[in-house]
Amino acid sequence: MDEHTLELDQIKEEIKRYCAFSLGKARIDALTPCFQKLYVETQLKRSNDALSLLYRYGTVPFAGISDITPYVEAAGKDATLGAYELYEIARQGHAVRAAIAYRKAAVDGESVFELIDALIEVLPLSRQIEACINRNYEVMDQASSELARLRRKLSSMQGEIAATAQRYIAKHAASLTDTITAIRGDRICVLAKVSEKNHLSGLVHGESASHQSVYLEPQCLLELNNRLSEIRQQEQEEVNRILYALSQQVKANRDALLANLDTFAHLDELFAKAWWAKEHDGVIASLSETAHLYFKNARHPLIDQKKVVANTYEIKAPHHALLITGSNTGGKTVTLKTIGLFVAMSYCGIAVPCDEAIIPMFDAIYADIGDHQSIAESLSTFSAHIKRLAQICEDATAHSLVLLDELGSGTDPKEGEALAVAILEHLRKRNAMIVATTHYSNVKVYGKNCNDILLASVAFDMDTMQPTYRYMEGVSGTSNAFAIAGRYALNEAIIKRAQYFKDAHRSKEEMLLETIEQQQLDLLLEKEKLMKQEQALLHKQEELEAWKQQLEARGKAQEAREQRAFDDLLEDAKAQMDAIIEQAKQVDDSKPHRYHELKRQLAQMESAPEEAHHEDASFALGDYVKLVELGYHGEIISMQKDRVCVLCNGMKLNTTTAKITHMQKPKSTKAKNVHTKGLSKPLPLACNVIGCYVDEALPIIDKYLDNAILAHRNQVRIIHGSGTGALRKGVHAYLKRHPKVSEFRLGQEGEGGLGATIVTLKGKK
């Protein structure tokens, strides 16, 4: 199988971009479809595990991995490696440790874990190298005590030379062109004037570019430079000894290092495939024990993913061959290549971009696709096809996949049709799985008469005169040559004449076949339309169901919030009520039975279930409701959607249904337990309405004021408590409208403060 024919080579180039280092890319380059079942199963399992691990944990760390094969091999031959080469080798030890840590943190990837578990620990070697060489690839002083001693000596000697040179420069400044030293051949020199070179003792090492100066090594520096060179040579010998010793350690670990490198290359290959699969939303194919080939919503990976048309391909018993017909440029060859490419990719352990993939185990893939014209061999296109077909017919077996594009084309149509039918018949007898494309009517007729051949086509939109690239199983298509010719502005008269010749030479069988094909196509298009409508309805139903669940969840959340608010309000009310009762006791303790009654009612409020809070939240005009936040209650007098107006003791309050709750209309019987009837008893010093609602308190206050006027009292006190302030506001609103009230004010210190109101009545000053 030619990789270029199915474009497998382009897929491998894409995957290589996800590789971490060169050996991983080399393994991708070496990928070729394998037709051994055990190998394919292993590769598919590893690819599947790698893809699963990538989604859950990311990739195996590859930092520090590079191709160190040449360095390790050189060390194995007793070569001395450089500092850079040794440091690159040292990085592998940390990469192994990182991969092992990844393995310990991840689960469910056994076939990949087998590779990681095969890694050999080489961290001691890495640490030994790093103890001698830093990340700048320099051998450090602490690599050996001798090296440290020599470098201290070298530094001291360089200092002595610098001091001697500066003294010389200061002494002979007139004969020198500069006050700095220069290095020529590792020798410290000074820059002397050319005219003075014979007057100064020393060794000349050449002239400057301007020929105005010479590099002079004074006599006083000769011995020092010699000693410096000797120390440098000793230093280099010590560095070489250290590098050789480290290289011998690499040699001792040669097999482990190379084995680790091979394992990392394998892991790099697997995770590069996984990255590619993730980017293309691919799946790993399953191997079928039967001749069942299935790709659901397959998308050719080399076509723009935003434009590619997903199609489902399936060949299963009783069919063993697929014959694809349809328009030119309609996608027949793409279909053929997609099927062949997906099989080849799966046999390389590569995921395929579709929703589900099932393939049989073939022993070979044979393909005759495209133009095989060979100038070198003097073969025409047809001759090249025949040569290739002859080889396929000779080699194909019952376990082979045969891909044939435009079978029988390139020669006389009648002969081409006959040849195509004969080749199909030969391959069918061999029981090979066949996928072929054709334009020939007689080949389509042959396919319709064979139970093991599945006819299919690629759709062509006659309205837009554009191919749709949709694969339609069970329907054979027409070439639409005349329609396409019209699209490319061929003269209409020519097209009509061609249609006449076609009709004149068509047999009744061909005309009947074309009619049946059109009817099948119409039925299929109608079926697809109904399926789309069904899918749209299902999608709408899912949206409505999700919306319903969202509303229910929102309602439950709102109910929970309201319950919490109600509980908080009840708790606050209890605390306020206790405080008011205690305050009222201090002001007027003449009615202990009233305080006990209030406490009893409060206890009932705590223990009674909040029925009104949980009841149906539907309201109507005339309902008696309570405003949860304000504590007011009254009758609904108008409604507009969720907006309501509640009449609370003569006051109109606008609110929403979310802020009110149903309640039983209270009976005005509590006043009998509070106010004093007639004037048979002395008028109390104050009117206590703590614990009453506004509509309960106002009749009591009204009666009290009447009695106060009859008793000729000019000033009285009304005790309403502080609480939420609702009762106080209601009392003050009432007093403003009362004709006998001259003025009123809040109580001062000793009068009850904010919990009482002092009222001055008219007629008495």
Q: Residues annotated as binding site for ATP?
A: 326-333
Residues 8 and 2: their CA atoms lie apart, in Å, by 9
With contact defined as beta carbons under 8 Å apart, do 710 and 679 qualify? yes
How many CB atoms neighbour CB 699 within 10 A?
Answer: 16
Compute the C-alpha angle 35/37/42, nearest 5°: 110
The alpha carbons of the chain give a radius of gyration, in whole angstroms, of: 50
With contact defined as beta carbons under 8 Å apart, do 342 and 44 qualify? no
β-strand partners of 454: 322
Write the DSSP symbol of residue 673.
G
With contact defined as beta carbons under 8 Å apart, do 341 and 8 qualify? yes
Residues 740 and 709: their CA atoms lie apart, in Å, by 8
The residues, any chain, with a CB within 8 Å of residue 734's CB and separated by 6 or more, are: 698, 701, 702
- Residue 566 structure tokens: 């109600």
How many CB atoms neighbour CB 643 within 10 A?
Answer: 11
3-state secondary structure of 625: strand
Residues 531 and 527: their CA atoms lie apart, in Å, by 6
The residues, any chain, with a CB within 8 Å of residue 610's CB and separated by 6 or more, are: 563, 566
Residues 273 and 51: their CA atoms lie apart, in Å, by 8
Residue whose structure tokens are 């030890």: 93
286-288 and 202-207 as β-strands: parallel, antiparallel, unpaired?
unpaired
With contact defined as beta carbons under 8 Å apart, do 447 and 417 qualify? no
Helix (H) or strand (E) holding 471: strand 466-473
- Which pairs from 680-687 meet CB under 8 Å and 24+ separation? 683/707, 683/708, 683/711, 683/713, 684/588, 684/590, 685/588, 685/716, 685/717, 686/587, 686/588, 686/716, 686/717, 686/718, 686/719, 686/756, 687/716, 687/717, 687/718, 687/719
Residues 276 and 47: their CA atoms lie apart, in Å, by 11
Residues 289 and 759: their CA atoms lie apart, in Å, by 101
From the centroid of its chain, how far is CA 619?
Answer: 48
Phi-psi domain of 756 (left: phi exceeds 0; alpha: psi -120 through 50; beta: other): beta
The residues, any chain, with a CB within 8 Å of residue 642's CB and separated by 6 or more, are: 656, 657, 658
Residues 322 and 456: their CA atoms lie apart, in Å, by 7
End-to-end CA distance of the chain: 120
How many CB atoms neighbour CB 211 within 10 A?
Answer: 8
From the centroid of its chain, how far is CA 176?
Answer: 72
β-strand partners of 131: none
With contact defined as beta carbons under 8 Å apart, do 358 and 490 qualify? no
Residue ranges for the known binding site are 326-333
